[in-house]
Amino acid sequence: MSTNATPGSFAPLQNDSFLRACLRQATDHTPIWLMRQAGRYLPEYRATRAQAGSFMGLATNVDYATEVTLQPLERYELDAAILFSDILTVPDAMGLGLSFALGEGPKFAKTVRTEADIAALAVPDMDKLRYVFDAVTSIRRALNGRVPLIGFSGSPWTLACYMVEGGGSDDYRQVKTLMYQRPDLMRRLLEVNADAVALYLRTQIESGAQAVMIFDSWGGVLADGNFQQFSLAYTRRVLDQLPKEFNGQRIPRIVFTKGGGLWLDDMNSLDCDVLGLDWTVNLAQARARVGGQVGGPGKALQGNLDPNVLFADPEQVAAEAVRVLESFGTPHTDRDTTGPTHVFNLGHGISQHTPPEIVKVLVDTVHAHSRLMRARG
């Protein structure tokens, strides 16, 4: 299977509302997709994962990865699919040995903490990530134009956190020690990560991804000043290396920093189309600060329902969805120009304990209420 997919090899898109909203173009409804929408809250996902034997067994098998990416689309009227993979595939390809125990987070067999460790790092051979690119092409074909496909990676800083800590962390002690004690080494690590992430995302685009997202999951743990130096600067380095279009199509780029609401104005300077927001951010204020005006430049906004809302009763879930939509306010409806737009999402990934039937309530409410908002102007 060739990763360099020719433009004629994919079906034309039937629902482009997600891509239009990313590019601040008017849509008939507010598009919705969910971070981790293909995941453990779905019984069919758990069944496929059991068949695959492990998380990496699932992610590295093209047929399984395709199957689980499409599972949520069989249940819900989502407006985009996101590649089933993990943010840590890049450091795994650098030889750090990624594994997942059932019910636990990711672990690396090797950590990166010393001058020698960092000197040995290099942008990995993309052939080691061929399984990801083959999955992108396979998923894009299987979607058959139903909705667009989003590719993604962890941000250089977020990858560095996992690489130095060896897994998740409560206090980020190892990675912050390295940053404060040897900022020169941290910068070298982040440079390698940024160039690897850029090549990784570029190859996903060449394989069929129609938008790409950078997950800066741990950017929010940094002090002000350090965020700009050690996270934002390297996210910018990734974006600078990505194509804005491929095969004549614009490729929207989304940046999501969990805990990044403090730095919205700094993030507004990024060369990306969409800023993802967690649930701590007021959407109306974010729109006023970075959403732009009709006919002028600005960022589309993505988010930002608290994932724990999905444990409430259906009436409350619907009411909270409406509240998020109303907080953003009326999207612009002029098809001839760009203006403030919103992609509905959660403020972080969906919890594995979420009842699957409640997600339908959320998706249907977002579509129905956002149409109502446009109708009333």
Catalytic residue among 36, 113, 202, 236: 36
Q: Identify the three-state secondary structure at position 108.
A: strand
Taking the C-alpha atoms of residue 30 and residue 365, their distance in angstroms, rounded to an integer, is: 10
335 among known catalytic residues: no
Taking the C-alpha atoms of residue 65 and residue 59, their distance in angstroms, rounded to an integer, is: 5
Count the neighbouring beta carbons within 10 Å of the beta carbon of residue 217: 22
Task: Return all residues near 4 (Cβ < 8 A) that are at least 6 apart.
Answer: 206, 207
Q: Is 367 annotated as a binding residue?
A: no
Q: Is 86 annotated as a binding residue?
A: yes
Taking the C-alpha atoms of residue 133 and residue 206, their distance in angstroms, rounded to an integer, is: 9
Question: Are the C-beta atoms of residues 138 and 62 closer than 8 Å to each other?
Answer: yes
Q: Is 25 annotated as a binding residue?
A: no
Pairing of strands 245-246, 249-250: antiparallel
Taking the C-alpha atoms of residue 328 and residue 92, their distance in angstroms, rounded to an integer, is: 39
Q: Is 38 annotated as a binding residue?
A: yes
Q: Is 146 annotated as a binding residue?
A: no
Taking the C-alpha atoms of residue 219 and residue 192, their distance in angstroms, rounded to an integer, is: 18
86 among known catalytic residues: yes
Q: Is 353 annotated as a binding residue?
A: no
Helix axes 314-328, 356-376, angle to 10 degrees: 40
**Closest CA relative to residue 362, chosen from 302, 300, 308, 320:** 320
Helix axes 356-376, 62-75, angle to 10 degrees: 60
Catalytic residue among 16, 79, 86, 278: 86
Catalytic residue among 20, 24, 49, 287: 49
Taking the C-alpha atoms of residue 32 and residue 292, their distance in angstroms, rounded to an integer, is: 21
Catalytic residue among 64, 76, 162, 200: 162
Q: Is 79 annotated as a binding residue?
A: no
Q: Is 122 annotated as a binding residue?
A: no
162 among known catalytic residues: yes
Q: Is 364 annotated as a binding residue?
A: no
Query: Annotated active-site positions, please?
Result: 36, 40, 49, 86, 162
Query: Which residue ranges make up the annotated binding site?
Result: 36-40, 86, 162, 217, 348
Query: Which residue ranges make up the annotated binding site for substrate?
Result: 36-40, 86, 162, 217, 348
